[in-house]
Structure 1
Amino acid sequence: MKKILGRNILKLIGWKLDISVPVHNVPKCVLVAAPHTTNWDFFYTIISFWAMEIPMKFFIKDSWTKPWYGFIIESLGGIGIDRSQRANRVDYAAELLKNSNRLYMLNTPEGSRSRAEKWKTGFYYMAQKAEVPILLAYCDYEKKIAGIGKVIHLENKSKEEVLTEIQDFYLNIKGKHPENYNPKIF
């Protein structure tokens, strides 16, 4: 049902879905979504992942999962996190990935919709600890295309090589507010 709904909403609003990466061949991964410059990214991401039948989870402030509407956020894949606690989210995400048959752990490593000087690299360590690839998701507002454009395997690559590969991938993708995206991620 979600697949049909996601595809129809995208078609209705004039967006295309990039399904060039065979996501069904990747049962578990860390999913990076960038550029993240507006709250609209969440909407396009959710409907795109519905259309691709991607079983994703994401960390969100627990203040979003505790009110009466919290069940909606959780049904969309939200995992409430108390940011006042010094819990190790990298280890927690890696355990979730290791103990799941099929899971895409979504990350927005910019950490904000505002311009970030560099990305937070927890996503890299999650993938490394869970021994899963990193998939690169995007919403290109200029071309009105959303999807997953690349799979990055970490074996035999340094952190810098992986980050450079990611940085190069996102160079020509335009967020809703391009001025809020720093193409130099590290």
Structure 2
Amino acid sequence: MLRPIFKLIFRMMGWRIEGEPPTNLDKYVITVGPHTSNWDFVMGVMVRSITRMKVKYLAKQELFVFPFGWFFRALGGYPVNRTKNTNMVDNVVAIFEHHQRFAIAVTPEGTRKKVQKLKTGFYYIADKAKVPIVMAGLDYKNKCAIFSDPFFPQGDIESDLRKIIGFYSNVTGKIPAYGIGGNELVLPGKAQSQ
């Protein structure tokens, strides 16, 4: 319904799409970055609509109650319990196991602020659910949404995260100083999970 409007706005803003959106995959985790501004959500919703991707995003379940619950669901939100007594990775893996088609979008930084290391939950979700990771970049400098080829986690998180950081190293966020590709990022040890 909004797709033609989003396409028009996207074009009028001078944006384009590079790479193949993962519309042929039934299940995947898509990382979207660098996440530096609230505008990333707006751009992401437009790109998702334009490319016809059926992608959800995770949000705390408290957002999905009256009166705004319908709004967050309409935008692709999927409620999750984020209390300390739950294991987010296992909860999301269970969602993948109970659906024929399911995809979630996550920001590897987990925040719009500058970070010293990436969150790794998305990696462990993909690894345990045995689904590929697709990287999507919102490059404000070059006005393009970029998609990588899908890849499956190889079990070597440091090597895989280097690949992810490498993809984002040439993608400029809305606030360039908060990008992912900086050399100061600390790679987690193989046993660490966030």
Structure 1 residue ranges without an equivalent (≥5): none
Question: Structure 1 stretch 61-70 or stretch 90-99: which is displaced more?
Answer: 61-70
When the two structures are superposed, what TM-score results if normalisation uses the length of structure 2? 0.86
Would the aligned equivalents of 1:167 and 1:185 in 2 still touch at CA under 8 Å? no
Q: Summarize deviations over 1:127-183 as a string: whole Å, max 9, x none.
A: 0111000000111000111142332222x4511121111011100100000112242
Instruction: Note the 1:82-93 alignment, pairs <5 A.
Output: 82-93=81-92
Q: Quick one: structure 1 residues 185 and 69, their matched pair in 2 at CA, closer, same or farther if it must change by over 3 Å?
A: farther
Please state whether the residue corresponding to 1:123 is helix, strand or coil: helix
Q: Which amino acid aligns with 2:114?
A: R
Deviation at 1:120, TM superposition (A): 0.9
Aligned length, in residue pairs: 184
**Structure 2 residue 143 is the aligned partner of structure 1 residue 149:** no
Would the aligned equivalents of 2:55 and 2:105 in 1 still touch at CA under 8 Å? yes
- Alignment match, 2:163: 165
Q: Using the alignment, how far apart are the partners of 2:157 and 2:88 within structure 1?
A: 19
Q: Using the alignment, how far apart are the partners of 1:185 and 1:141 within structure 2?
A: 25
Instruction: Note the 1:33-182 alignment, pairs <5 A.
Output: 33-154=32-153, 156-182=154-180
Q: Using the alignment, how far apart are the partners of 1:36 and 1:69 within structure 2?
A: 24
Q: Using the alignment, how far apart are the partners of 2:91 and 2:15 within structure 1?
A: 34
Structure 2 residue ranges without an equivalent (≥5): 188-194
Q: Quick one: structure 1 residues 167 and 182, their matched pair in 2 at CA, closer, same or farther if it must change by over 3 Å?
A: closer
Q: Summarize deviations over 1:82-141 as a string: whole Å, max 9, x none.
A: 434432111111122222222211111211100011011000110011100000011100
Which portions of structure 1, spanning 4 or more consecutive aligned residues, are displaced by more than 6 angstroms?
none
Say what the alpha-carbon RMSD is for the aligned residues. 1.9
Q: Using the alignment, how far apart are the partners of 2:44 and 2:24 within structure 1?
A: 20
Q: Using the alignment, how far apart are the partners of 2:93 and 2:8 within structure 1?
A: 33
Q: Which amino acid aligns with 2:120?
A: T
Q: Using the alignment, how far apart are the partners of 1:26 and 1:185 within structure 2?
A: 31
Would the aligned equivalents of 1:10 and 1:17 in 2 still touch at CA under 8 Å? no
- Alignment match, 1:6: 6
Deviation at 1:6, TM superposition (A): 3.2
Q: Using the alignment, how far apart are the partners of 2:102 and 2:139 within structure 1?
A: 24
Please state whether the residue corresponding to 2:149 is helix, strand or coil: strand
Q: Using the alignment, how far apart are the partners of 2:65 and 2:40 within structure 1?
A: 22
Please state whether the residue corresponding to 1:152 is helix, strand or coil: coil
Would the aligned equivalents of 1:110 and 1:119 in 2 still touch at CA under 8 Å? yes
Would the aligned equivalents of 2:33 and 2:180 in 1 still touch at CA under 8 Å? no
Please state whether the residue corresponding to 2:142 is helix, strand or coil: coil
When the two structures are superposed, what TM-score results if normalisation uses the length of structure 1? 0.89
Would the aligned equivalents of 1:135 and 1:152 in 2 still touch at CA under 8 Å? yes
- Alignment match, 2:16: 16
